[in-house]
Chains A and B, each alone.
Chain A
């Protein structure tokens, strides 16, 4: 009995240590970003290759007609929306509005994406009595 209690305590400490050492992460799952200036296949291919090199990016689809980048992200990635926008600018194009699917928590009307500090005021879209845990939300970002 004494042995089991000690094992349980060791297990608990191990779990706490793992949680404490878990790297900060954001939880964007999908970002659809409109981009100005993409006119040809070579431009799209360059942007796709460049964004595909960002850690956490699982796939990039591009529509030249709508100027839309559709980026699928791995769970527990570290990518920020601001990193993605910067990468688009570095390639010579202009990021515009985005539709984002992310996991996070509500703090009043603000939705805080899990991990390192990007949050968005969702105004009337925020629930009156938000769930205590993380929730998955899709919203538009200007």
Chain B
């Protein structure tokens, strides 16, 4: 699952179910728990950028794996803590990934392994909010734009934050020896942002992984 905003995260995974159904074939389900911190906070016209706060992430994915095809479906929820006066947007994600290893790339071990995936991710991102007690500050244009009134809890739901969207696109995975290279892009298939937000036409991912395969002693 490819998130929208850049962040640093620490993730733990537990494969709580797997059934090995045939040669090169298995079904498995995994839960993920983690914490994250945004690394890039977008500027705001109505005041200073939101303060960083830790997010807590929980997700589950289940899938079918074979030598030729892959199917995964997953969902996750990320909730941010409220440190001080700001609360970044919580988000709910759902994802479907289809994978294919073409016959001409179906190499025997220890040859390189190549696979293609198509990922579709839908997300529902809540609005961020700020306490009415927050000190006023200049926006990125120097003059703060007016904020909506606070609700009875003293909270101002920030306009132009959150929304819904569906992103879809290809990913290529190459593994050889202990190294894996993943390159992918998600294109915006549908977007319904709250208010006016910068256009997000695509998301790109490049992942390089190294596997420590010393083997179990």
Which residues of chain A have a CB within 8 Å of any CB of chain B? 34, 36-42, 44-46, 48-53, 62-67, 87, 90-94
User: Please, which residues of chain B bring their CB within 8 A of the CB of A46?
Assistant: 211, 213, 215
The answer to whether residues A50 and B216 also contact, given A36-B26, A93-B20 and a CB cut-off of 8 A, is yes
User: Please, which residues of chain B bring their CB within 8 A of the CB of A65?
Assistant: 23-24, 67, 106, 108
Listed by A's residue number, 30 A-B pairs whose Cβ atoms lie within 8 Å are A34-B23, A36-B20, A36-B21, A36-B26, A37-B18, A37-B24, A37-B25, A37-B26, A38-B23, A39-B24, A40-B113, A41-B112, A41-B113, A41-B176, A42-B175, A44-B109, A46-B213, A48-B109, A49-B214, A53-B216, A53-B217, A62-B109, A64-B24, A64-B108, A65-B24, A67-B24, A87-B216, A90-B216, A92-B15, A92-B18
User: Which of chain B's residues 1-26 have a Cβ closer than 8 Å to chain A?
Assistant: 15, 18, 20-26
The tally of CB-CB contacts under 8 A between chains A and B is 83
Smallest CB-CB separation from A34: which chain B residue?
Answer: B23
Q: Is A38 within 8 A of B24, CB to CB? A: yes
Smallest CB-CB separation from A39: which chain B residue?
Answer: B24
Q: Is B18 within 8 A of A36, CB to CB? A: no
- How far apart sit A69 and B44, CA to CA, in the bound complex (Å)? 59
- How far apart sit A85 and B127, CA to CA, in the bound complex (Å)? 53
Q: Contact flags (1/0) for B84-124 with A, using CB distance below 8 Å? A: 00000000000000000000001111111101000000000
Q: Is A39 within 8 A of B111, CB to CB? A: no
User: Which of chain B's residues 61-79 have a Cβ closer than 8 Å to chain A?
Assistant: 65-67
B180 part of interface (Cβ distance < 8 Å): yes
User: Please, which residues of chain B bring their CB within 8 A of the CB of A40?
Assistant: 113, 115, 175
Smallest CB-CB separation from A65: which chain B residue?
Answer: B108
Q: Is A41 within 8 A of B217, CB to CB? A: no
User: Please, which residues of chain B bring their CB within 8 A of the CB of A92?
Assistant: 15, 18
Q: Which of A45, A50, A52, A64 contacts B177 (CB 8 A)?
A: A45
- How far apart sit A48 and B110, CA to CA, in the bound complex (Å)? 10
Given A41-B113, A66-B23, A94-B20, output 4 extra A-B contacts at Cβ < 8 Å.
A37-B18, A39-B26, A46-B213, A91-B216
B178 part of interface (Cβ distance < 8 Å): yes
Q: Is A36 within 8 A of B215, CB to CB? A: no
Question: B177: shortest Cβ distance to chain A, in Å?
Answer: 7
Q: Is A41 within 8 A of B175, CB to CB? A: yes
Smallest CB-CB separation from B180: which chain A residue?
Answer: A42
User: Please, which residues of chain B bring their CB within 8 A of the CB of A87?
Assistant: 216
- How far apart sit A37 and B15, CA to CA, in the bound complex (Å)? 14
Question: B9: shortest Cβ distance to chain A, in Å?
Answer: 22
Smallest CB-CB separation from A92: which chain B residue?
Answer: B18
User: Please, which residues of chain A bring their CB within 8 A of the CB of B15?
Assistant: 92
User: Which of chain B's residues 188-217 have a Cβ closer than 8 Å to chain A?
Assistant: 211, 213-217
Question: A131: shortest Cβ distance to chain B, in Å?
Answer: 37
User: Please, which residues of chain A bring their CB within 8 A of the CB of B65?
Assistant: 39
- How far apart sit A46 and B176, CA to CA, in the bound complex (Å)? 12
User: Please, which residues of chain A bring their CB within 8 A of the CB of B110?
Assistant: 41, 44-45
